[in-house]
Amino acid sequence: MPEFSGRSVRRSWAHQIPLLLWLVVLWMLLWGSFSWLNLVTGAIIAVLVTRVFYLPPVLLSGRFNLRWALVFSAHFVYDLIKGSIIVAWTAIRPGAVPRSSVIAVPLRTRSDLIMTLTTIAISLVPGSLVVETDRVRSLLYVHALATDDEAAVEQARQIVLTVEARIIRAMGSKDDLKRLVENRRAA
């Protein structure tokens, strides 16, 4: 049976603090009011959830770039509006239904958090949906609309990689940034 030092236990609690805080905030949002009772019960529920259920550790990079976060947010809102208009037009326009494809997109990150955020951002934009993820190979399978030719497929793949790059620049690790720069030079 492995022995655990007090230091490793303290370190694991320190890594859980962002998750615990988020769970408390989520609890308070679900109840719709910010009160001391909700704060205390949310903290108790958060500790119970993290102790009873296995949750893999979320490793944060320790860096956050506000400028790139704003760039990501602005592009995300633009993509939401543009995607909504394109999907609406596709639904009401006369003519043949455009072909769609499931595209494999290899990501440059190895971070579960960045991969998850990329998956969420892509799936929230109308016209695209992540249907499968391969965590080990850092691969997303994306269903994309209006991919009638190879150029449209490549454009859909580049959109996913661009979203990933914005998220990496906003909060990715130094290794992710390094891979991003190396990949850009190779291209």
Q: What is the pLDDT of residues 129-175, one digit of tens each?
A: 999 999 999 999 999 998 989 999 999 999 999 999 999 999 998 99
Answer whether residue 109 is part of any domain: yes
Do 109 and 148 reside in the same domain of the chain? yes
Answer whether residue 57 is part of any domain: no
Answer whether residue 177 is part of any domain: yes
Partner residues linked to 99 by β-bridges: none
Do 98 and 169 reside in the same domain of the chain? yes
Do 34 and 78 reside in the same domain of the chain? no
Residue 150: how many other CB atoms lie within 10 Å = 9
Domain count, the chain: 2
Q: Where does 21-138 show beta strands of DSSP type E? A: 101-106, 128-134
Do 77 and 105 reside in the same domain of the chain? yes
Do 37 and 90 reside in the same domain of the chain? no
- pLDDT for 39-72, tens place per residue? 999 999 998 988 888 766 666 777 889 999 999 9
- In the predicted model, is pLDDT for residue 6 greater than 60? no
Do 45 and 74 reside in the same domain of the chain? no
Residues 69 and 171 sit within 8 Å (Cβ to Cβ): yes
Do 179 and 93 reside in the same domain of the chain? yes
Do 35 and 100 reside in the same domain of the chain? no
| Phi–psi pair at 127, nearest 5 degrees | 105, -10
The whole-model pTM stands at 0.74
Question: Rounded to whole angstroms, what are the CA distances from 101 to 80, 94, 141?
Answer: 20, 21, 10
Do 28 and 107 reside in the same domain of the chain? no
Classify residue 65 as left (phi > 0), alpha (psi -120 to 50) or beta. beta
Do 109 and 151 reside in the same domain of the chain? yes
- Provide the domain limits for residue 17: 6-52
Weakest mean pLDDT among 1-5, 48-52, 57-61, 105-109: 1-5
Which of 80, 78, 102, 100 has the alpha carbon at shortest distance from 90?
Answer: 100
